[in-house]
Structure 1
Amino acid sequence: MPTYVTLLSWTDQGIRAYKETAARADAFASALQKLGGKLVSIYWTVGPYDLVGIVEAPDDETATAALLQLGGVGNVRSTTLRAFGRDEVEGIIAKASA
């Protein structure tokens, strides 16, 4: 399943309700699971982003739908990166070298 690294920043609304952040992460994991994806891990961070999530989804459309739902609640803004594992990147290199 494709992997995505999601960099999340709290909105003004999200930071005001910081005490609910763990419950919101659980709600996102449930919503993602209903769409066929998985929240592999989530980290609360210090620096330019407030959270980093590792997400698996069957395809880009599913990942995008889940992140639209998440953003639509209004607590975070996201920047998402498609991540490739070692096997995937070796396949990409093989295609590029053909």
Structure 2
Amino acid sequence: MPNYLIKAKLTVDGLKGLLKEGGTARREVVERMVSDLGGRLESMYWAFGDEDVYLTVSLPDNTTAVAIGLVTSAAGGVRTSTVVLLSPEEIDEAVRRKVEYRAPGA
């Protein structure tokens, strides 16, 4: 199953909800959402800095990852961005793949 890093930045409404519900309640919501879509929440960390939350998840496919981002961002409490994570084995496969390419001007 593909793996993803989801970065989330809470909006003002999201921060108000967090103050009301707490972090573990939000994790339970995320775990249930991911599980209902056939995936698994691997980790969830709150952080200082540009992003408020970092999630690593295993999901059935890219379409599921996009659906999560669309629905959660449209709800208004969070803005997300998603990064596809690749295993070392996937990189090995990419390195072995023959690709024909000519650089501009070459």
- What is the TM-score when the length of structure 1 is the normalising length? 0.88
Superposed, 1:14-93 pairs within 5 Å as 14-19=14-19, 20=21, 21-93=23-95
- Which protein is richer in helix relative to its size? 1
Q: Which amino acid aligns with 2:4?
A: Y
- Give SS of 1:47's match: coil
Query: Which residue of 2 is the match for residue 7 of structure 1?
Result: 7
Identity value in percent? 30
Aligned mates of 1:8, 1:85 — CA distance in 2: 22
> Runs (4+) of structure 1 moved beyond 6 Å?
none
- What is the TM-score when the length of structure 2 is the normalising length? 0.82
- Give SS of 2:48's match: coil
Aligned mates of 1:84, 1:68 — CA distance in 2: 22
Query: Deviations along 1:48-80, whole A, 9 cap, x unmatched?
Result: 100100011111001111222322332211011
Structure 1 residues not aligned, in runs of 5+: none
Could you tell me how far 1:93 is from its partner in structure 2? Answer: 1.2
Aligned residues of 2:65 and 2:82 also touching (Cα < 8 A): no
Could you say what the CA RMSD is over the residues aligned between the two structures, in angstroms?
1.7
Q: Number of matched residues?
A: 98
Aligned mates of 1:61, 1:45 — CA distance in 2: 27
Aligned mates of 2:91, 2:61 — CA distance in 1: 17
| Shift in CA distance, 5/64, structure 1 to aligned 2, threshold 3 Å | same
Aligned mates of 1:25, 1:69 — CA distance in 2: 16
Structure of larger gyration radius: 2
